[in-house]
Amino acid sequence: MDIIRIDSSSSYHNRKLILEILDRLEKQDSFLNILLPSFFSKYNPKKKDKALMQEICYGVTRFKKRLDWIISQFLSHKKKAIPLTIKNILRMGVYQILYLEKIPDFAIVNESVELTKHSPYPVYSGMVNAILRNIIRKNNTICWPSIEQDPVQYISVFYSFPEWLVNRWINRFGLEMCLLICQASNLKPALTLRINTLKVNMQQFQRQLSELGISFQESAYLPDRALMISNFDEIFNSSLFLEGLFSIQDESSMLASEFLAPRSGETIIDLCSGPGGKTTHIAQLMHNKGRIIAWEKNKRRLEMVKAESRRLGIEIVYPVLTDSCTIHNEYLNKADKVLLDVPCSGTGVIRKKPDLKWKKWDINHLNELNKIQEELLNTAAQYLKPGGELLYTTCSMEKEENEDIIIKFIRKHRNFSIQESTSFISQRGLVNYKSEIAQAIQLIPGYSGNNIDGFYMIKMRKNS
């Protein structure tokens, strides 16, 4: 695994905040992409401290099971329960020792011991000190499970995934592909920008980035619209962002809007529009001409759609706070196209949201999601004109949320036909995983590329 090189002069106070975030993440079943901005807003750490806090929080969460395995080998009493706070102090210490260079080992140990002494469990300070010092001296002696004898345990521990998910992916994709998925899902995602072509073209934007000394690389799938960038500090305070010249959006999400193929002047309904990435991309593809009805039941996410539309200079988005499972009679048979990006398990975006690995969801949770997905799809179908097209998407790799939903829908709605995707796949250079429905596009991390999310999309036409 790559070594992360980060200079750090972070104070004890910032380590204490990291510990509080990690504890809250597990105790409250929260999400890092909500907790971190909340803590940043409340405590306003320095830029370099923000970067380190984010690195440690995401790194510990990403490799939690691997870190626990390492720690367990240096415990004197392996069956003794350790408080969550002490577990997280140890995880933070081991992660920094193994993955963060330029932070001296002695400083990591000292900070960890101080955190323990000022925690509700100061009695563990000697144990924390001993374990971390032993790991520093003997980290080349760590033993891993045997992939030959128990491949599920090996993948689960070495790549840090729950065994139930590893089992599921081996049964679905096979051992070799499961390894690819886990490897790719542990990589830190590149920051991808979607250029706002309503305000600037690609050449102009690249020139502005170069003038600011920002490195970039064109997207392999959307070279005319997307860039991967690095060394862009304070991106949200930059003049380029404030002027609405770009949005932050992953390639797989952009590909969905491109596959929908919206046209100027059309009426399009986006049933689950928050936070607005696909909504505003569709508006760009329509050249800001036509009408997009953007429904969203979460008020905070709807406000994000409004803010993003304003920032980008988009005038054709009409945001509405509503539950999209509710029938809106005034829009029946009115839409040229419908986008339905349903709530899902999110197994395709674990590289961005590593906390999803550890969510306590089971087959009952999946069944509840399936009910919502089916209800939304059956409702969405009613808004299309004859000849209109519906795009169903998820950021999931699970067939229960993808082809199973579509097969059931097509059997029930004989007036819908699945549209071909071969030319789109070829044109964009995608590596598509062939699922039960030949026309579906299923992108898989590792298999489809290391820098792409797991994503499912399928387009259906409403016939007369």
**Gap between the Cα atoms of 434 and 136, Å rounded:** 46
Q: Are 191 and 232 in contact (CB under 8 A)?
A: yes
* Helix ranges restricted to H, 100-246: 105-117, 125-138, 151-158, 163-173, 175-185, 202-211, 239-242
Q: Please tell me the distance from the alpha carbon of residue 335 to that of residue 319, in angstroms, as a whole number.
A: 16
Torsion (CA) 334, 340, 342, 347 in degrees, nearest 10 = 180
**Catalytic (active-site) positions:** 395
Compute the distance between CA of residue 214 and CA of residue 281 in angstroms, rounded to an integer. 23
- H or E segment at 405? helix 403-412
Residue 425 phi/psi, 5-degree rounding, is -60, -45
* Sign, CA torsion 450/452/453/455: negative
Distances (CA, A) of 195 to 36, 117, 160, 286: 26, 49, 35, 15
CA distance 80 to 46: 39
- Residue tagged 């593809």 (tokens): 285
